[in-house]
Chain A
Amino acid sequence: MTTETRPRRPSTLAPPSEAVPPPPPPPRKAEPRPFLLDFVPLEGESDTRLARFFQRLREGQLATTRCPRDGALLWPPRVVCPTCHTEELAWVDLPSRGRIYAFSAVLAGAPLGMEADVPFAVGLVDLEGVPLRLFGRIEGRPWNALAVGMEVRVEPYDVGDGRFFYRFRAPE
């Protein structure tokens, strides 16, 4: 491989003329775009058969689907049971309390749209009385004041662009 630098060729282009400057580009039409488009599911009736999940969140309640045949709670909510393949799943409200099974925090390397949240805590939470261990953001305390076994509550929240999701809140 050669490391010689190539001699610059003299430019044969004519110098720029005193032409009229081009007109400024037309003002761009603002496109309202959810700031977390990539990380929050589409929530409306026209987008998903799971719109009921988001409707219940707006009403303050975390819910999911359950197979009526074997009673299994399914997470995330689904439209088909993965065991018996029935499409006749039932909606069921979930407990609003749980205990931290494991947690960590993002102190660096946040994905797009979450850079301003750093540092933030995340964890796996065992919901009270049901065999479900959900992952989610944990608010309410700095990460180093959380503990395995600590009780947290489920908190539906407005993502900020009209959509809803859930997170956990530790006691202040």
Chain B
Amino acid sequence: MTVRPVAIVGGVTTKFGVRPSTWAELCQEVGAALFREIPELRAEDVDSLFVGAAEPERFAFQSHMAPFAAEQMGLRPYRILQRTELACASGQSAIRSAYAAIAAGLSDVAVAVGVEKMNLPSMAEANAAMACVMDRAWDGPAGATAPPFFAMVAQRHMLEYGTTEEQLAAVSEKNHRFANTNPAAQFYEKTFPRDKLLRLPVIAPPLRLGDCSSMTDGAAAVVLAADDRVPRYTPTPAWIRGTGQYSDFHNLANAGSLTEWVGLKRAAREALGRAGIPVDQLDVAELHDCFTISEIVEYEALGLCPPGQGGPFAADGRGDRGGDLLVNPRGGLLGCGHPLGATGIAQAVEVYRQFARTVPAARQAPDPEWALVHNLSGSANVHSVMVYQAGRAS
């Protein structure tokens, strides 16, 4: 079977935060921004639309999201129109599906859009939506949501490896600092020095407020194109060179080790293997820092440091500018906020902009060629990885 090269040829995000806007309004806003960003793009070019949306049934009381989103954006897809739902990885799932469709020759130009409206008048209602990501009937009755689960990961990591609250805070400080270079970030122009982070209220011990990504409204969209269409839209495409995904459990009872994310190891091995590069060839990475402990465990699972050494890796700035690998330069989920469906797409937008060298100098990777994007979803029971290469339009 022929597999055609596919690239991201541009993308945008809305402002992330607590937005006085509905799901539909965020979707309209990101559609308009996309057409402004890529003036060569015409609505009739877009043959397919993939919509990343995690919980609109509860957050927005709306299903049948794909045609709903198409109408908001002014698109009339005539080949593939579908929603992709993979909780916190719904956005990357939209990109992966668009990639697969184009690579297989079923689409030539596709939009992947992600939208989430999470801030509701009742936060308990919003937290209930989040709890449904877990096994609602069996883990839900105890009150399982993301913070206590990742708190247990942190507790075990501290117990097994001596990881400290200060090392967790180092991740949060870095990502919030980068968010100050990103006006679209929820925490733009908000400073979080480490001593302040260590005084914030505890949400789920040992995790404090600054260890947790927030409930965020936002949208992001990218355009993907087949190799022969790429030159119409950009001289600096981000070519998709590898993807990988792995899931081995859903109910919390069936999780293996909390501190060794086997699923990420396997997904990364698959994606890097398809791209044909070792991890140390990466120039920039967008890792799913839904909690500070996540980024630490991800350093280890990607093989950037030995098992258990993610805490010192963070504290020593090895995931920072001038370190081993620039991680989460747009500000991560911690700094940008985490509108579930939009996050994976906003990460891809950052990769495109890093390759195009259009991000502020304070977060620009020097001469980047390779990038990795990772999303986990649920209780880190699914890991999704994509590898991108900078290049010229062929």
Contact partner, B147, options A106, A112, A136, Cβ 8 Å: A106
Complex Cα–Cα for A136 and B251 (A): 12
User: Given that A76-B138, A135-B253 are known contacts, is A112 also in contact with B155, CB under 8 Å in the complex?
Assistant: no
- B234-256 residues with Cβ-Cβ distance < 8 A to A are 251-255
Q: Is A104 a contact of B131 with CB atoms below 8 Å?
A: no
Interface residues of B in 52-86 (CB under 8 A from A): none
Is there contact, CB below 8 Å, between B140 and A104? no
Residues of chain A from 62 to 120 with CB closer than 8 A to chain B in the complex: 75-76, 101-115, 117, 120
When the two chains form their complex, are residues B253 and A105 in contact, meaning their CB atoms are under 8 A apart? Answer: no
Contact indicator B205/A112 (Cβ below 8 Å): no
A103 close to B155 (CB less than 8 A): yes
Q: Is A38's beta carbon under 8 Å from chain B?
A: yes
Give residues of chain B (90-147) contacting chain A, Cβ–Cβ below 8 Å: 122-125, 127-128, 130-132, 135-145, 147
Beta-carbon contact of A109 and B123 below 8 Å: yes
A39 with B135: CB separation less than 8 A: no
Which positions in B face A, CB cutoff 8 Å? 122-125, 127-128, 130-132, 135-145, 147-149, 151-153, 155-156, 159, 201-207, 251-255, 258
The answer to whether B254 touches A102, judged by C-beta atoms less than 8 angstroms apart, is: no
**Cβ contact within 8 Å between B152 and A76:** no
A118 to B143, CA, bound (A): 10
Residues of A in contact, count (CB < 8 Å): 39
Q: Which of B143, B153, B206, B258 contacts A106, CB < 8 Å?
A: B143
Q: Mark A129-149, 1 if CB is under 8 A from B, else 0.
A: 000111111000001100010
Residues of A within 8 A of B125 (CB): 112
* CB nearest to B149 among chain A residues: A104
The listed residue (B131, B136, B155) touching A102 by CB distance below 8 A is B155
Q: How far is the CA of A72 from the CA of B127 in the complex (A)?
A: 34
Could you tell me if A104 and B204 are in contact, using CB atoms closer than 8 angstroms?
A: yes
- Inter-chain contact A122/B253, CB cutoff 8 Å: no
Which one of A104, A105, A111 contacts B127 once the chains associate, using CB atoms below 8 Å? A111
Across the interface, which residues of A come within 8 angstroms of B141, CB to CB?
Answer: 36, 39-40, 137, 159, 165
Q: Tell me the interface secondary structure of chain A in the complex.
A: mixed
Q: Are B152 and A112 in contact (CB under 8 A)?
A: no
Is A41 part of the binding interface, using a Cβ–Cβ cutoff of 8 Å? Answer: yes
Known: A134-B253, A148-B159. A107 touches B204 (CB 8 A): yes
* B137 in contact with A40 (CB, 8 Å): yes
Contact B258 A107 (CB under 8 A): no
**Which chain A residue lies CB-closest to B156?**
A102
Give the tally of cross-chain contacts (CB within 8 A): 118
How far is B123's CA from A28's CA once the two chains are assembled, in angstroms?
A: 27
Contact flag A105-B204 (CB < 8 Å), given A110-B124, A110-B143: yes
Is A124 located at the chain interface by the 8 A CB criterion?
yes
A41 touches B122 (CB 8 A): no
Instruction: Tell which of B124, B155, B207 touches A148, judged by Cβ atoms closer than 8 Å.
Output: B155
The complex places the Cα of A122 from the Cα of B155 at a distance, in Å, of 13
A123 at the interface (CB under 8 A from B): yes
Which residues of A lie under 8 Å from residue B128 when comparing CB positions? Answer: 38-39, 111-113
Q: Residues of B contacting A114 with CB < 8 Å? A: 124, 143
CB pair A124 B202 closer than 8 Å: no
Instruction: Evaluate contact between A133 and B204: CB separation under 8 angstroms.
Output: no
Residues in chain B near residue A75, CB distance under 8 A? 138, 251, 253-254
B152 x A123 contact (CB < 8 A): yes
Chain B min CB distance to A44 (Å): 14
Complex Cα–Cα for A130 and B127 (A): 33
Tell me which residues across on chain A come within 8 A of B253, comparing CB atoms.
Answer: 75-76, 124, 132-135
Pair B203/A107 contact, Cβ less than 8 Å: yes
Does A167 make an interface contact (CB < 8 A)?
yes
> Which of B132, B139, B253 gathers the greatest number of chain A CB atoms within 10 Å?
B253
Q: In the complex, A41→B375 CA distance in Å? A: 30
Would you mind naming 30 contact pairs between A and B with Cβ atoms under 8 Å apart? A38-B132, A38-B140, A39-B131, A39-B136, A40-B137, A40-B141, A75-B251, A76-B251, A102-B152, A102-B155, A104-B148, A104-B207, A106-B147, A106-B204, A107-B204, A109-B147, A109-B203, A110-B124, A110-B143, A111-B130, A112-B124, A112-B127, A114-B124, A114-B143, A115-B124, A117-B143, A135-B142, A135-B251, A135-B252, A137-B143
| Given A39-B141, A103-B152: A144 and B124 interface contact (C-beta under 8 Å) | no
In chain A, what residue has the closest Cβ to B123? A109
- Do A39 and B155 have beta carbons less than 8 Å apart? no
Instruction: Give the distance to chain B from A6, nearest Cβ to Cβ, in Å.
Output: 18
Nearest CB in chain A: distance from B213 CB, A: 12
- Please, how many angstroms separate the alpha-carbon atoms of A111 and B70 in the complex? 32
Residues of B within 8 A of A159 (CB): 141
